[in-house]
Amino acid sequence: MRRPLVAGNWKMNGSRTESAALLDGIRKGISAASRAEVAVCPPYILIPLAAEKLAGSPAVWGGQNLSVHKSGAYTGEISGPMLRDYGCTYVIVGHSERRTLYGETDAMVAEKYGAAQAAGLIPILCVGETLQEREANQTEAVVARQLEAVLDQHGIGSFKNAVIAYEPVWAIGTGKTATPQQAQEVHRFIRSRLTARDKTVAENTRILYGGSMKGSNAKELLAQPDIDGGLIGGASLQAEEFLTICRAAD
């Protein structure tokens, strides 16, 4: 049985005061008995606050990005070992905003995935097609290319310690969610690519859906057989909304 994971991607949002209140709200609302695992990925600068607020709770925290390097003269970067040092469990790699706005290629994403695992972090590998690619019937080709870039470099065995997030770019921050059927189709496809390499790993790998998931649509998305949780942007910035999704994953 795959344990569902609901991870909040705060992106570049939150003052110290707002974030403290959000973290307190999440801590208060999650129950130790919950089946779903809950994670938050705040901006780097708020990670120590998340560590302080969530320590000893069932919730874990992570980064939104990392450097491929461990340390050195890389102004403005944060490394995997640094995230680990602040108690991070997860780190998002290859989010579409990193790919499109910061020029991260499949090769760079694969390198970051390896750097995350080398530091003892669990990468949440994001894949997904743009609207143009979907309309050109390229969804499977794009997702396969993004996935194979990592599989070729790190092997199927590395997915014992990784999470995949399918995030159709056209659904991110747009309020346009993939239908449960559209999402399930791609999730099944992703799992089939893993199955082609190793059936057991494929069965145990969690594949999250991301893209305008919220309290009101989480249940039917999470009811799909190959959807094992969510990567939540906008809806993770309000404790009650985020907790509703966490409960839907239980």
- Interface residues toward ligand PGA, by CB under 6 A: 9, 167, 172-173, 210-213, 231-235
Report yes or no: 19 and 49 within 8 Å, Cβ to Cβ. Answer: yes
- Measured from the CB atom, the residue of 202 and 221 that comes closer to ligand PGA is 221
DSSP 234: G
Residues 6+ apart with CB under 8 A from 18: none
Beta-carbon neighbour count of residue 115 at 10 Å? 21
Residues 6+ apart with CB under 8 A from 157: 198, 201
Shortest Cβ distance from residue 66 to ligand PGA (Å)?
A: 16
- Measured from the CB atom, the residue of 95 and 202 that comes closer to ligand PGA is 95
Annotated catalytic residue within 37, 95, 97, 111: 95
- Measured from the CB atom, the residue of 13 and 153 that comes closer to ligand PGA is 13
> Nearest-CB residue to ligand PGA?
233
Residues 6+ apart with CB under 8 A from 216: none
Please compute, for residue 182, the number of CA atoms within 13 A of its CA located in the half-sphere on the CB side. Answer: 17
- Measured from the CB atom, the residue of 149 and 172 that comes closer to ligand PGA is 172
- Measured from the CB atom, the residue of 202 and 229 that comes closer to ligand PGA is 229
Catalytic: 167? yes
Exposed, middle or buried: residue 228 (CB in 10 Å: 0-12, 13-18, 19+)? buried
Annotated catalytic residue within 97, 129, 133, 167: 167
In angstroms, what CA-CA distances link 147 with 2, 81, 128, 216?
Answer: 20, 24, 10, 30
Shortest Cβ distance from residue 72 to ligand PGA (Å)?
A: 29
Shortest Cβ distance from residue 71 to ligand PGA (Å)?
A: 28
What CA dihedral angle connects 83, 157, 246 and 51, to 10 degrees?
-20
CA distance 201 to 166: 17
Shortest Cβ distance from residue 70 to ligand PGA (Å)?
A: 26
Q: What angle do CA 184, 66, 173 make, to 5 degrees?
A: 45
Shortest Cβ distance from residue 51 to ligand PGA (Å)?
A: 21
Catalytic: 135? no
Catalytic residue set: 95, 167
